[in-house]
Amino acid sequence: MPLSHIFISKSRKIDFELTILIQDLTNVPLVSGLYYVKWRLKNATHNNGSTVRAPIRDHCIFWGHPISTMAQLIISKQHVLGPCEFKLEVYQELGGSKDTVPIGSLTINLSEYASSGLTTRRYLLDDCKFNSTIKLSIKVDQKSDALMQFDIPPLKRQQIFTDIPSMITERQESFTSNAINNTSNNLDTSFRSQTPVLKKSQSAISLPHYCRQVTPFNDSDDPSPVDLVEQLFKEKPTHA
C-alpha cells in the first residue's frame, strides 16, 4: 500500500483487479534490431516489468505480454475515481550490444476503463518519430465495496488511434442507424396519409352553407336567368 493511502479513510478505498495484454507494435519503418517494452503501474501490488525482446517482422513487433495485478484506488471527495497511471516505454536494442534507442512512450489512466469490460484499442505512441501504434487490451474490475457509488473519469480519446477499417465500420453502423430511423419516419408518415379523414357532421353545418354544398348553382333541370328573360320577352304567336 502506498504511504499516501495510509491516512485516507477505508470507505474511500476500492480494490480493482487489473488485467492488461501488451499485444503488438505496428507502423515501425525499421528492418532490424530487437524490441521490448518497459512498463510501470502506480498503486499496484505488481508495479513494474518488461516484455521479452522480440524481432521486427513486416514492420511489426509481436509480444502478447500479459499483466495481472491488484490496485487500490481512492475515491475523491467529489466522488470521482482517482487515477491509476500505467506508463509504457518502447525500446530498440541494436545488434548484440546493450545499446538501446527509445522508440516512444505512452501513459494512460486505467481508471478511465473501470467497470467497462474488456477494451482493446490502438494507441499512438508519444515522442515517436514514426507514428507507431501499440495495441493494448485492458480490463479493470472492481473487487471490493460493490455498492460504492463513484464517477469514472472521462476517456481521453486523443491518444486512441482509429484505423481505416474501424472508421468504415463506425460509418456503416451510423448509416444503418440513420436508415432505420428514416424508414420508421417514412412508415409513420405513410400511415398518417392513409388514415381516412372523418367528414364534419352535417348537423354542425349551417343551413345556407349546407344548401350551397348540396345544391349546384347551375342545375341542368332548372332554367337559368337568361332562359327566364328569353321566355318572358319571347314573342307570343299570333292567331290568324
pLDDT band at 207 (very low <50, low <70, confident <90, very high): very low
Give the whole-number percent of the chain exceeding pLDDT 70: 63
Does residue 7 carry a pLDDT above 60?
no
The whole-angstrom separation of Cα 87 and Cα 109 is 9
The whole-angstrom separation of Cα 92 and Cα 29 is 12
- What is the enclosing helix (H) or strand (E) of 45? none
Torsion, Cα of 175, 179, 182, 186 (10° steps)? 160
- pLDDT higher at 146 or 1: 146
The whole-angstrom separation of Cα 138 and Cα 110 is 8
Give exposure, 75-114, as e/b (b: 16+ Cβ within 10 Å). beeeeebbbbebebbbbbeeeeeeeeeebbbbebbbbbbb
The answer, as to whether pTM is greater than 0.75, is: no
Q: What does the DSSP 8-state code read for residue 221?
A: T
Residue range 3-165, CATH number: 2.60.40.150
Residue pLDDT, tens place only, 38-61: 999 988 999 999 999 999 999 999
Q: Quick one: pLDDT at residue 204?
A: 47
Q: Quick one: pLDDT at residue 159?
A: 66
- pLDDT higher at 223 or 207: 223
